[in-house]
A and B are shown apart, each in its own frame.
Chain A
């Protein structure tokens, strides 16, 4: 596979995000411009309440930007129908699936909905995608289990498999590692890295696991109260961005060990 990094899968231009409530604009961040390419694993980090979810919602057309544009495969997302968007962008959200009675296989199969006919019948082609998604996420053994029987870690793998089955160029995950123990946090992020490389998808996730993200991501989107910065982890460390991530009175970033430490 030849890497064609010349065109971006996900791009924003001078994006402002926020809400309009009661005729008042509440601006969360402005001037966000970045480009993500195929096969990249990108982490979105920032403190609680900084607007990571708002940014993800704006990128996925759930909410409108206050200003600026989002492009997917160099098309403005406003020009894409909901179905076209579903074929280029899949999601893993923090909310649990509504029906815990779904079996793993059924849940992953629902990822094929944008491609199936009016009654949702699966073609052999669909089944091939489902099987492949389950293989990549290593959940074949679970296929007949019900969702309520799964651990949080297994469920997260299943949700990622569902997003894979949707066969999109971009996967966006909102805090895929919350609720997980350290081992599973690392496992999930490592899995995402593997998927980005092997399937050449663009994988963007928000996370609080900054030290893990530094080790695994190709690029990091860092949201600070002042600005949104995107760069490779090593560049960000060199620039000292992580020191500006949190209020300075409690923890500081140690540039040598790439870890946050509690101030004495």
Chain B
């Protein structure tokens, strides 16, 4: 029956594509390593220890970071679009990533101001994550509070932009008072990078990401109900306040931790849910949630592979690539207005 179809085929196909993208991603980098050697190094030691080191300590963590970041951003975009019932909502557009950036800025730049002893304590990875999650949570609460007053779709987006501006302003003030070294650290972080994560950092990333995903899964039914609008959802016995809080918490964890570790990554959160709806023509979050995860991971791996500029020594900022891929997708979707429904 079409109406309850489980989309087995697209799921299997996407899983295969994901695995393929994963291997393509770890096969390319600034150092050329034969594909054979890469496969061997995955399943045991190889003679060339520097190759082994590159694969194990650089390429593999980076590929996993891409998977976590892509799927997490996709999910938070999906959550935002349903929660705000706004097809243009996403963690970046709504200023949630900006909020996370602000948290990071306060930790990195603020630490420089507050003294050196404190700063070594503050810039542990955990504090970065916590600050980023808090930052996105605060912005989300603010956007939500305003969206209750302003029903207009466009107004909410403009408010998101304004939060972005406020963040930039605060970061500007902070950077004025901070050392050149701290400033450089922050600016490099702001470019966004999937690399440079140690396995330990990846573990922290994965823990917080998992909390976000678990909360998202717990919200599936609520999200489905919210598709009808809040008044209908209430008439179906949904506790709107509680569920909205859980969704916001999930988004904060996902967007916050991703921003903390990979920098502010644009457009993935907005574009992935729409791309997913092109393949899976359903509104059912039981289907959409895993689909968004798969597609987000795939797109992020592809973006990262492009950012590597295979065969060259350069690595482009990941944020530039995702914008180059994501922004045209949004324009294309806007032009085909009807497909922009969520």
Interface assignment of B286: CB less than 8 Å from any CB of chain A? yes
* B228 contact from A86, A99, A118, Cβ within 8 A: A99
Known A-B contacts A82-B239, A120-B224; A103 and B234 likewise in contact (beta carbons under 8 Å):
no
Identity of the chain B residue whose Cβ is nearest the Cβ of A93 in the assembled complex? B231
A residues less than 8 Å from B221 (CB atoms): 113, 116, 118-120
A103–B236 Cα gap in the complex (Å)?
18
Interface assignment of B203: CB less than 8 Å from any CB of chain A? no
A83–B235 Cα gap in the complex (Å)?
8
B228–A110 CB distance below 8 A: yes
* B4 contact from A62, A90, A105, A166, Cβ within 8 A: A105
Identity of the chain A residue whose Cβ is nearest the Cβ of B2 in the assembled complex? A144
A60–B226 Cα gap in the complex (Å)?
18
Interface assignment of B277: CB less than 8 Å from any CB of chain A? yes
A257–B342 Cα gap in the complex (Å)?
48
Interface assignment of A218: CB less than 8 Å from any CB of chain B? no
Identity of the chain A residue whose Cβ is nearest the Cβ of B340 in the assembled complex? A101
Count, A-B residue pairs, CB within 8 A: 96
A85–B221 Cα gap in the complex (Å)?
18
Interface assignment of B116: CB less than 8 Å from any CB of chain A? no
* B227 contact from A86, A110, A116, Cβ within 8 A: A110
Interface bits A93-129 vs B (CB < 8 Å: 1, else 0): 1011111111101110011011010111110000100
Tally of contact residues, A, Cβ under 8 A: 41
Interface assignment of B284: CB less than 8 Å from any CB of chain A? yes
A127–B1 Cα gap in the complex (Å)?
12
Interface assignment of B328: CB less than 8 Å from any CB of chain A? no
Closest chain A CB from B314 CB (angstroms): 41
Interface assignment of A260: CB less than 8 Å from any CB of chain B? no
* B231 contact from A62, A100, A106, Cβ within 8 A: A62
Interface assignment of B225: CB less than 8 Å from any CB of chain A? yes
A247–B234 Cα gap in the complex (Å)?
37
* B283 contact from A84, A93, A101, A113, Cβ within 8 A: A101
Interface assignment of B120: CB less than 8 Å from any CB of chain A? no
Known A-B contacts A103-B282, A103-B283, A113-B237; A148 and B218 likewise in contact (beta carbons under 8 Å):
no
A residues less than 8 Å from B232 (CB atoms): 91, 93, 97
Closest chain A CB from B27 CB (angstroms): 38
- Identify 17 new A-B residue pairs, CB closer than 8 A, beyond the known A82-B234, A82-B237, A98-B227: A83-B237, A86-B236, A97-B232, A98-B85, A99-B82, A102-B227, A107-B228, A110-B224, A113-B224, A113-B238, A116-B221, A119-B286, A120-B220, A120-B286, A121-B286, A144-B2, A148-B338
